[in-house]
């Protein structure tokens, strides 16, 4: 199967509010798919429709080939779901809680015990397996939430804002865990923290006010919005940047502007192809001690703000 998730005309109204407007979307199997949008854009609504926690006003959705918008209970075996604010029984230990979840999924005793130990190791909660969940940090709760979502070996994992309430250390833990799942399951990762999505996702979709604006491979998207600016940094041992070098750069017909500051020299060009062939040889030919040379790429956040303005 080439697609793990598919939506056709998926629409949801809450009274007069159109939360999701005819969403057509396909998520490739095996990908880490970033679903981006501002708060209120329709991300959580989409998630709830995909997992069958809400009924669409119109449209249909499938997860791993099984329709989830018609009440088919067999679909639950095909996905694991982590809501934005997962709730647990605080008096349970992780091992007890996962045993409870495994029983709900009908896992046989031996398989359930084996699988519990596997996911506890995967999310690095083995040493905390006898502690009460009520005393867990936010990051530990999120990791436990991912463990319960993965317990029954689903081919698709749906995560709604899994890092939004975490501190930097907790976010790092969760992102490392998700990156380690690449190729094993399809991860549908909803977030408004664009740096997290840029770090681990290979495909990106942007939703705004309930409407899908674009879907594209992350690298292709960054390349499509690439800036026509080169950054040059010089070794301080070489002394101040020669004014002659800056004047020479400004004289090229393919150069639009040159600025120098403490960060180095930024060269804005009219013709990127010509600049990529001529810029570096010129600078090196001037005898400058160059320590860094790169073409500036926009961040995913900059692209998002431009697209969803």
Beta carbons of 16 and 208 less than 8 angstroms apart: no
Condensed to tens digits (0 to 9), the pLDDT of residues 201-238 reads 999 999 999 999 999 999 899 888 878 889 999 888 76
Considering only 22-36, 82-96, 99-113, 176-190, which range has the smallest mean pLDDT? 176-190
Is residue 87 classed as helix, strand or coil in its secondary structure?
coil
Condensed to tens digits (0 to 9), the pLDDT of residues 129-187 reads 999 999 998 888 989 999 999 999 999 999 998 887 778 887 888 888 888 888 889 99
pLDDT reading at 109 higher than 90:
yes
pLDDT of residue 235: 84
Beta carbons of 45 and 115 less than 8 angstroms apart: no
Considering only 165-169, 187-191, 192-196, which range has the smallest mean pLDDT? 165-169
pLDDT of residue 263: 65
3-217 is a CATH 3.50.50.60 domain: no
Cα separation, 6 vs 26, in Å, equals 5
Is residue 116 classed as helix, strand or coil in its secondary structure?
helix
What are the structure tokens assigned to 272, written together?
């990127």
Condensed to tens digits (0 to 9), the pLDDT of residues 70-94 reads 877 888 899 999 998 889 999 999 9
pLDDT reading at 309 higher than 80:
no
- DSSP letters, 26-80, are EEETT-EEEEE--TTSSHHHHHHHHTTSS--SEEEEEETTEESSS--GGGGGGEE
What per-residue string of b and e applies to 154-183 under the rule 16 or more CB within 10 Å gives b?
bbbbbbbbbbbebeeebbebbbebbeebee
- N residues, the chain: 309
pLDDT of residue 26: 95
Condensed to tens digits (0 to 9), the pLDDT of residues 42-73 reads 999 999 999 999 999 999 999 999 999 987 78
Task: Report domain extents, the chain.
Answer: 3-217, 225-304
pLDDT reading at 305 higher than 80:
yes
Spatial neighbors of 243 by CB under 8 A, at least 6 apart, are: none
pLDDT of residue 226: 79
Beta carbons of 191 and 78 less than 8 angstroms apart: no
Condensed to tens digits (0 to 9), the pLDDT of residues 247-300 reads 999 999 999 999 987 668 989 999 989 999 999 999 989 888 889 999 888 888
Query: So what's the architecture of 225-304 in CATH?
Result: 2-Layer Sandwich (3.30)
């Amino acid at each position: 199967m080439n697609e793990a998730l598919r939506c056709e005309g998926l629409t949801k109204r809450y009274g007069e509010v159109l939360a999701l407007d005819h969403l057509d979307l396909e998520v490739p199997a095996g990908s880490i798919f970033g679903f981006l949008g501002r708060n209120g854009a329709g991300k959580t609504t989409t998630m709830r429709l995909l997992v069958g926690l809400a009924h669409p006003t119109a449209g249909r959705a499938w997860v791993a080939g099984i329709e989830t918008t018609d009440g088919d209970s067999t679909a639950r075996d095909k996905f694991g779901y982590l809501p934005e604010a997962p709730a647990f029984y605080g008096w349970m230990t992780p091992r007890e809680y996962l045993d409870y979840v495994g029983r709900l999924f009908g896992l046989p005793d031996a398989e359930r015990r084996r699988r519990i130990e596997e996911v506890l190791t995967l999310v690095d909660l083995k040493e905390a397996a006898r502690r009460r969940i009520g005393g867990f940090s936010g990051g530990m709760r999120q990791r436990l939430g991912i463990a319960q979502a993965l317990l029954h070996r689903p081919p698709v994992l749906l995560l709604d804002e899994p890092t939004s309430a975490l501190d930097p250390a907790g976010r790092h833990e969760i992102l490392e865990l998700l990156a380690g799942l690449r190729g094993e399951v399809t991860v549908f990762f909803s977030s408004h923290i664009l740096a997290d999505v840029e770090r681990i996702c290979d495909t990106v979709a942007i939703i705004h006010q309930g409407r899908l604006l674009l879907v594209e491979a992350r690298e292709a998207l960054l390349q499509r919005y690439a800036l026509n600016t080169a950054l040059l940094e010089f070794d301080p041992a070489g002394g101040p940047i020669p004014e002659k070098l800056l004047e020479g750069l400004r004289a090229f017909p393919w150069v639009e502007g040159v600025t120098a500051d403490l960060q180095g020299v930024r060269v804005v060009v009219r013709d990127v192809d010509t600049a990529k062939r001529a810029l570096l040889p010129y600078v090196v030919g001037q005898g400058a001690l160059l320590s860094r040379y790169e073409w500036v790429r926009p961040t995913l956040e900059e692209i998002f703000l431009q697209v969803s303005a």
